[in-house]
Each structure stands twice: as structure tokens, then as C-alpha cells.
Amino acid sequence: MADLDQLFSQGQFGQFLVFKRLGTFAIDPLAFATLLQGIGLVAFAFSTPLMFAAFADRRQRRLGATGLAALMVTLHPYSAEILTFSEASFTALLASAMGVTAIFIVATRPRFWLLAWIMLVAALSMYQLLINYAALMILLGVIQTYLRTGGALRDEWVAYRPLFYAILVLVGALAAYLCIHKSLVTTLGISEVGRAGFLPLDKLYLRAQEILSLGGFLWQRTLLVTYGSAAKGLFWGMVAAGWLLLLLRLLVRPRMGAVLPVIAMVLVPAAAMGVIAVGKVWWPAPRVAGRGCSCVCDGHLLGGMVRAGPVGAGAGSGTRGDPAAELYSGGSSGAQRSVAVERLRSPACTAHI
């Protein structure tokens, strides 16, 4: 098992504490590695749908699109590469699940922000790459919110408020983690490894070249292996279809507020790179590059959401309150149409007609 100096120097003091706690129950992380990996994988698998549902409403939580995107994230070879680390994979998967769940909590139940903050600090102390997942969730939330409201930030600020909460809690948790980490390594006199530092500004150009080179590698090895051209084509086909449908959606009914989802779309690849893009040491391990899988899986999910109806079909829609429009809206459910029929039959509505 990794010692204190090694884990603390990497900023993973939470992992050390988890291992110590397991030791008090006579559980050796190496001897029980397979069992712990299974527990971590189950926790991560059950949390991945929350990545796509945190900022979505009922209409956008399509079971087929969300389920398929979650499976692609969980089972993609780049994401599964973490399982080759029998000892560290449990805490990495557990931390990822905790981080995703924390963002979901603050997005859907803001009053529990303190619980989400504590979960994020604990998760970051075990696995810092969960920041990539959190950033992707927030960017996807921007697109989902725009598709739901169709309005600009100043007009629909209430709808975007959960995103602000999530950003504040995430930034606060990251700041707290960094303070704790620096305090521990300074107090204990432990030297940080290169991966724990930030990239100097004079190395930005070199890092940009490294990222472009990595992009070419990921394009050639979408599924980690060089073979499987049919699977690779199907994968990129679903991704391209999702993002293309979103672009067409924005172009059909252009609005000033469309700048928000466009910015989010541009930032998605940057969020997928996340931590490794700003780290002092270039470290594009497959399990790290697997965050790009979440980026492209968002594209498939968006393809399912775009078919949910016109921009602003939810809150902020111009058809809201008009029973005739609700009746003939293609996105209305059977229950909604029944309510609309009853409203059309009401005396007040009949007199108005």
C-alpha cells in the first residue's frame, strides 16, 4: 500500500485516510482489490446518469439517451483503464461518484449546498480529475437550460441560478482542498510531485502543441485500439449527429441568448482536458484522456434532447397558458392534452373564443 509521503505529495491525502480506515477493519486494499473495484465501479455506474440529469427537467431526461450516454462513459476503454490500478481504482471511482453526486445535489437541492461542498472536498482529496466531470456537467447544464428556456441570462436568470450555485460550491471546494493540501505538505515537510503543481505561463505554447498532438492520437484511437473501424464510425456518427442537431436548432431560431450554448460548446473540449491541461507535468494517461469520452457522449445526449420540442418549450415558452397551443404542441403528453381539452371546454375559454 502506498505510504503517507507518496499520497500526500500527490495531493491524495483522502486516499491515505480511506486506506487507514479500511485497515482498522482488517481490510487490505491489495488483498480485497477485486471486491473494492467492484464496489467502486457500481457506485460510479449508478452516478453517471446524474451527470446528464443534474440540470435537466423532466422532458430532457429521456431514458434512452441518458442511459446510453451513461453506459458509454462507464464502459469506454479510456475510462475503464483505471481498473488496471488494483489499489487506487477504488478511491478514484468512489471520488468520481461522490463528485458527480455532489453537483447533482447542489443543482437539484440547493439548500443542501454544505453537504455537497463537504462531499466535493472529500472527493478532491482522493481524486482531483473529478473536476473534469464537474465542469462538463455545468457546461452541459448551460445548454440544457437554454434549450428549456430559450432566453438570455438576464431574462431567465432564475433558470440559470442552479448553475451559479454549482460553480460557487465547486470553486469553494477546490479552494478549501488546495488550502488543506498546502497546509499538510508544509506542516509535514513533504515535497510535492511535479503533477501536483501548475503549469508556468511561459510553457503555455508548448502545452498547446501537446494538446493538439493528443487530439490527433485520440482521433486515431477513439476506442484505445487501432482496429474496430465500424465501432469507431458508429461512435463518431452518434456524436456528430447530436452536436449537428443542436447547431441546427440554434440556427433555426437564432436569439441573442444563443451565445451562451455556443460558448459552452466551445469550452467542452477544454473542460474534457481539464486538470491535465494546466498541470505542471504533461500526463495524458488513458484514464485521464477518458474524460474526453464524456465530452463526446454529451453530443449523443444532445441529439436526444433536441428532439424534445422547440427552444423554450418549457418555462418561458410563448405557448404557456394557451390551451389550444398546448393541445396541438407536439411535445405534450397525453395527460397534458387531457388538461388542455378540459380547459378548452371551460365557460371562460369558450366565451373568449
Q: How confident is the model at residue 155 (pLDDT cuts 50, 70, 90)?
A: low
pLDDT tens digits for 258-280? 777 888 887 877 777 767 777 77
Q: How far apart are CA 296 and CA 352, in angstroms?
A: 49
CB 151 within 8 A of CB 69: no
Q: Name residue, grid cell 431567465.
A: 156
Q: In this structure, how many other beta carbons lie within 10 angstroms of the beta carbon of residue 282? A: 17
- Whole-number Å distance between alpha carbons of 321 and 315: 11
Whole-number Å distance between alpha carbons of 264 and 272: 12
- How many other C-beta atoms can be found within 10 angstroms of the C-beta atom of residue 229? 10
Q: Is the pLDDT of residue 286 over 80?
A: no
Q: What backbone torsions phi and psi does residue 70 show, to the nearest 5 degrees?
A: -65, -40
Of the ranges 17-21, 120-124, 180-184, 344-348, the best mean pLDDT one: 120-124
| Lowest mean pLDDT segment, chosen from 45-54, 190-199, 235-244, 294-303 | 294-303
131 CB-near residues (< 8 Å, 6+ apart): 99, 124, 170, 174, 274, 275
Distance between CA atoms of residues 177 and 157, nearest Å: 30
Whether 136 has a pLDDT exceeding 90, the answer reads: no
pLDDT of 100 reads 94
Task: Inform me whether the pLDDT recorded for 226 exceeds 80.
Answer: no
pLDDT at 210: 77
Question: Given a cut of 70, is residue 124 above it in pLDDT?
Answer: yes
Return the half-sphere exposure (C-beta side, CA atoms, 13 A cut-off) of residue 31.
5
Q: Is 133 exposed, middle or buried (0-12, 13-18, 19+ CB in 10 A)?
A: buried
pLDDT of residue 329: 36
Of residues 287 and 280, more confidently modeled: 280
CA dihedral (241, 59, 295, 51) in degrees, to 10, reads -160
- Could you say which DSSP state residue 193 is in? P
Percentage of residues of the chain with pLDDT beyond 70? 71
What pLDDT shows up at residue 272? Answer: 74
Quote the pLDDT of residue 118: 95
Dihedral sign of CA atoms 89, 95, 100, 104 in order = positive
Q: Which residue has the higher pLDDT, 98 or 305?
A: 98
Higher pLDDT: 340 or 93? It is 93
Please compute the mean of the pLDDT values over residues 197-205 and round it to a whole number: 74
How far the first Cα of the chain sits from its last, in Å, is: 76
Cell 463526446 found at: 296
Q: What is the pLDDT of residue 301?
A: 65
Burial class of 344 by CB neighbour count within 10 A (0 to 12, 13 to 18, 19+): middle
